[in-house]
Amino acid sequence: MRRTAGLLLTLPLLLAVACSSSTKAAGPATPSAPSAAPTVPTPVNEASPMPTLSGGGFGSKATITIPEGPPSGQFVVNTVSEGDRAAVNKGDWVTVNYTAKDWTTGKDLPSSYDAGGKPQLYQAGSGQLVPAFDQTVIGKKAGSRLLVVAPPAAAFADKGNSQLGVGGGDTVVFVLDVMESMPQDATLTGAMTQPAANLPQVKDNGKAPATITVPAGQAAPTDLQQAVLIKGEGKQVKTGQTLVVQYTGVLWSNGQQFDASWTHGGAQAVQIGTGSVIEGWDKGLVGQTVGSRVELVVPPALGYKDQPAGSVPPNSTLVFVIDILEAV
């Protein structure tokens, strides 16, 4: 739930590895891949010469050794080790750890395995990242390790990336670990506990917005109310993380639905605990666990206050049912 809009839309992610140095982001937004990108070559499985890998396997930082001589110019996507989970489809939310090296300079680039690094969470094939990330994971199974040799057309083109120290026209080598994959229609299953009788009751409708019934004749609470309907066993949500969520929102005043992730194509990404969403979400979701379904009753002071937002009138108490599917 964005603070300044009636709808919760996908929050662009802080994917610095995909940034073009010529593109500027506003606030927390991440630039998309370069707008005038050259034609991306068709990927091949192998081309001589090839980098070699050492160090740990899947799920740990790789050591990339660049061979003698210039790169082939081919866009190489090589499956080093194949996972045993579902293949990634276009539009799926994927979580990817990575190691990177500039072939042209021999310089090691920032890695998600470095101190302070974090996995990249994005929708496969959405164009949010350079093709070396965006396209290579499609059709690959979660749990796979990929060796990607990205010529400029599949990396940072002729502009490079000054933040990473990648020059224009450089070939970049990535090792991608596809940690998780989640379709847009993912939702939680399992036994659901209803909240207290003085809070809205919830009916699970599977791959559709939940039915939320506001208790008749009950005054809206003045404080944030939280109820865990399904308790997840995943990691705890921390301030600054990006969450993938399914959600439904209704007005306390009349029970009318004003928003749902399903009306935007399914699971959405939001940054939590940083003021990017309404305060009720920041307060109510930080500290929850991945895999949880949470009901939040958000008073106006923690929602849109006295401002209208889309179909939400001023001074509205809002009710949400939120599935926390992932946190990165």
- Quick: pLDDT tens for 162-174: 888 899 999 999 9
Mean per-residue pLDDT of the chain: 89
Q: Which H/E stretch holds residue 285?
A: helix 279-285
The CA distance from 94 to 269, in Å, is: 11
pLDDT exceeds cutoff 70 at 295: yes
Strands (E), the chain: 52-55, 62-65, 76-81, 93-102, 108-109, 120-123, 145-150, 172-182, 201-203, 211-213, 225-230, 242-251, 257-260, 268-271, 293-298, 318-327
pTM comes to 0.85
The predicted-structure confidence for 74-123, as pLDDT tens digits, reads as follows: 999 999 999 999 999 999 999 999 999 999 999 999 999 999 999 999 99
Give the model's pLDDT for residue 190. Answer: 87
pLDDT, residue 19, reads 35
Residue 9 confidence (pLDDT) above 80: no
Q: Tell which residue, 183, 178, 158, has the closest CA to residue 80.
A: 178
Mean pLDDT throughout 199-204?
98
Buried (b) or exposed (e) across 47-57, using 16+ Cβ within 10 A? eeebbebeeee
| Euclidean distance between CA atoms 147 and 132, whole angstroms | 10
Task: Spell out the domains of the chain, with CATH numbers in brackets.
Answer: 28-181 (3.10.50.40), 201-327 (3.10.50.40)
**Residues 118, 112 contacting (CB under 8 angstroms):** yes
